Amino acid sequence: MGACCSIPSKTGLHSHATTNGHSSGTEFSSMTTTTAATTSGSVGRRSQFFEAASECSNGIISDSGLILESPNLKVYTFLDLKTATKNFKPDSMLGQGGFGKVYRGWVDAKTLSPSKAGSGIIVAIKRLNSESVQGFAEWRSEVNFLGMLSHPNLVKLLGYCREDKELLLVYEFMPRGSLENHLFRRNEPFPWELRIKIAIGAARGLAFLHGLQREVIYRDFKASNILLDSTYDAKISDFGLAKLGPADEKSHVTTRVMGTYGYAAPEYMATGHLYVKSDVYAFGVVLLEVMTGLKAHNTKRPRGQESLVDWLRPELSSKHRVKQIMDKGIKGQYTTKVATEMARITLSCIEPDPKNRPHMKDVVEVLENIRKLNVVPDRSATKQTVSTSSRASPLHHQYGYRAGALGVERKRAAAGRLRVENEIVA
Ligand SMILES: Nc1ncnc2c1ncn2[C@@H]1O[C@H](COP(=O)(O)OP(=O)(O)OP(=O)(O)O)[C@@H](O)[C@H]1O
Ligand SMILES: [Mg+2]
């Protein structure tokens, strides 16, 4: 491992500093170079990635996902994407992460060529921040992984642009934003039923990656990388740090430590040894966030409570204490049994020894059962504030949740009412 540890703190942005500016994420650079150098149309040859990862050992792939024999990505010019975003107009910005800014753009539904705002389909266009040293490696990794993998719980990459220093990625638009937005930047509690639905979707996405014969380790699992479509189906985004798993019976790959504080597994932080099960740890951290409504890492919390896992792990093994740590905003939406079963699976995902953590396909099964378990007899206990939005889905009506109301400062819970205060992302 190099001398770098790029794990950031509470912002949730990984600043991928590097000692040498080389790739952190991908092991098939020759294919990447060919891909990136292509100037028109789709990339049309069998890749090393396909060779490495194409056989599936457990059948998940034939259920709902596949590895494409060659990526079917549109290659855009910079001018195309300037047109699609009205010259990267600030008011079309969807968000910003460690890689750069993400803009809303318009393309033709059939050809994916840029179109005028309001005609065709909306896409999300990520533009690399030119100061990012690590940017090219992440861009390349994203093109390689997302260009080849297709699964309902992975975000779709539609195309890319590489022109001089400009590196961009074009994705399907995810209208409900990220899980992070809903859990932490809300002015109303995010309903339990949506939380568990999203957890299951994201778990399926990870199970797919881990089910490939040559496993893919995602390495950056966190709430901000779980994006949501119009019906809150979850899709994992951001494959910039993803790596092919170990080959030749090895248990792990050794690599520079990168990721986000609070989510990175302890063995990886301590040694740079990255296991498939390191993703399972991060998934457990997200489950804990889903249960508590609290961020994985927050330096604004009192001493000893900055790391959610270190702070709340002991509470997870007691039925009584689990009730205390559940997000108070969703009280009445889940049964005690559901809370204790959630605690149990969370606890096993965050086991300190990776060998003791479950496989993601088993986590999917457990979560699906937990979802079925949740028969709440009295729904009147759930706060009902039915949205008046014409775009509201049946889920909105069922749970009275307004997804549009993001970024609004939520009143902090009255002191003493909550044992654990809810948090708002700055
Ligand atoms: N495909 C998409 N559809 C809709 N919004 C998106 C899409 N991709 C990204 N966004 C928005 O842009 C924001 C920034 O995304 P980005 O992945 O760059 O950063 P991040 O996940 O917040 O942080 P990090 O760089 O650590 O991954 C997201 O929070 C999301 O709201
Ligand atoms: Mg992201």
Report pLDDT digits (tens) over 305-321: 999 999 999 999 998 99
Is residue 23 within 8 Å of residue 141, measured between CB atoms?
yes
CA dist list (Å): 205 to 150, 151, 225, 279, 318: 10, 7, 12, 11, 30
Average pLDDT over residues 44-55: 49
State the closest ligand 1 atom to the C-alpha of 98, by its place in the atom list counted from 1: 25
Is residue 66 within 8 Å of residue 150, measured between CB atoms?
yes
State the closest ligand 1 atom to the C-alpha of 172, by its place in the atom list counted from 1: 1
* Predicted local distance difference test score (pLDDT) of residue 68: 63
How close is the Cα of 378 to the center of ligand 2, in Å? Answer: 37
Binding residues: 126
How close is the Cα of 12 to the center of ligand 2, in Å? Answer: 9
Residue 371's pLDDT band, with cuts at 50, 70 and 90, is: very high
Question: Who contacts 225 (Cβ-Cβ below 8 Å, separation ≥6)?
Answer: 178, 236, 237, 238
Average pLDDT over residues 218-225: 96
**Strands in 212-305 per DSSP E:** 216-217, 226-228, 234-236, 243-244, 253-254, 273-274
Report field, pTM of the whole predicted structure over 0.85 = no
* Predicted local distance difference test score (pLDDT) of residue 70: 61
DSSP-assigned beta bridge partners for residue 171: 124, 157
Residue 116's pLDDT band, with cuts at 50, 70 and 90, is: confident
Does the pLDDT value for residue 227 go beyond 70?
yes
Probe residue for ligand 1, chosen from 94, 182, 229 as the CB with the greatest number of ligand atoms within 8 Å = 94
Does the pLDDT value for residue 301 go beyond 90?
yes
Probe residue for ligand 1, chosen from 227, 239, 263 as the CB with the greatest number of ligand atoms within 8 Å = 227
How close is the Cα of 374 to the center of ligand 2, in Å? Answer: 31
Phi and psi for 158 in degrees, rounded to 5?
-95, -30
* Predicted local distance difference test score (pLDDT) of residue 38: 34
End-to-end CA distance of the chain: 32
CA dist list (Å): 371 to 132, 200, 331, 345: 41, 9, 16, 13
Percent of the chain clearing pLDDT 90 (strictly above):
58
* Predicted local distance difference test score (pLDDT) of residue 245: 87
Residue 97's pLDDT band, with cuts at 50, 70 and 90, is: confident
Q: Which of 25-39, 241-255, 401-415 tops mean pLDDT?
A: 241-255
Active-site residue, selected from the candidate residues 220, 238, 279, 327: 220
Binding residues for ATP: 126
Residue nearest to atom 4 of ligand 1 (CA): 174
Higher pLDDT, 50 or 301: 301
Does the pLDDT value for residue 86 go beyond 60?
yes
State the closest ligand 1 atom to the C-alpha of 220, by its place in the atom list counted from 1: 27
Does the pLDDT value for residue 391 go beyond 80?
no
Is residue 78 within 8 Å of residue 163, measured between CB atoms?
yes
Probe residue for ligand 1, chosen from 178, 233, 406 as the CB with the greatest number of ligand atoms within 8 Å = 178
* Predicted local distance difference test score (pLDDT) of residue 56: 40
Is residue 34 within 8 Å of residue 43, measured between CB atoms?
yes
Percent of the chain clearing pLDDT 70 (strictly above):
71
State the closest ligand 1 atom to the C-alpha of 171, by its place in the atom list counted from 1: 1
**Which of 62-76, 173-187, 268-282, 283-297 is predicted with the least confidence, judged by mean pLDDT?**
62-76
Does the pLDDT value for residue 132 go beyond 90?
no
**Which of 15-29, 67-81, 115-129 is predicted with the least confidence, judged by mean pLDDT?**
15-29
Helix (H) or strand (E) holding 179: helix 179-184
Residue nearest to atom 23 of ligand 1 (CA): 97
Residue nearest to atom 22 of ligand 1 (CA): 97
CA separation for the pair 74, 77 (Å, rounded): 10
CA separation for the pair 27, 6 (Å, rounded): 20
* Predicted local distance difference test score (pLDDT) of residue 48: 53
Does the pLDDT value for residue 28 go beyond 80?
no
Indicate the Cα dihedral angle 374, 376, 381, 385, nearest 10°: 60
* Predicted local distance difference test score (pLDDT) of residue 399: 41
How close is the Cα of 95 to the center of ligand 1, in Å? Answer: 6
- Type of residue numbered 272: G
State the closest ligand 1 atom to the C-alpha of 12, by its place in the atom list counted from 1: 26
CA separation for the pair 234, 236 (Å, rounded): 7
**Which of 88-97, 122-131, 378-387 is predicted with the least confidence, judged by mean pLDDT?**
378-387
Residue nearest to atom 16 of ligand 1 (CA): 97
Residue 352's pLDDT band, with cuts at 50, 70 and 90, is: very high
Residue 53's pLDDT band, with cuts at 50, 70 and 90, is: low
How close is the Cα of 237 to the center of ligand 2, in Å? Answer: 6
* Predicted local distance difference test score (pLDDT) of residue 188: 86
How close is the Cα of 239 to the center of ligand 1, in Å? Answer: 12
Q: Which residues line ligand 1 (CB under 6 A)?
A: 12-14, 94-99, 102, 124, 126, 155, 171, 173-174, 177-178, 224-225, 227, 237-238
- Go through the domains of the chain in sequence order and give each one's CATH number: 11-173 (3.30.200.20), 179-395 (1.10.510.10)
Q: What is the DSSP letter of 355?
A: G
Average pLDDT of every residue of the chain: 78
- The pLDDT tens digits of the residues spanning 241-268 come to 999 888 877 888 888 888 888 999 999 9
Residue nearest to atom 26 of ligand 1 (CA): 13
> Helix, strand or coil for residue 273?
strand
Average pLDDT over residues 185-212: 94
Among all ligands shown, which has an atom nearest to the Cα of 177?
Answer: 1
> Helix, strand or coil for residue 236?
strand
How close is the Cα of 142 to the center of ligand 1, in Å? Answer: 13
229 is annotated as an active-site residue? no
- Type of residue numbered 54: S
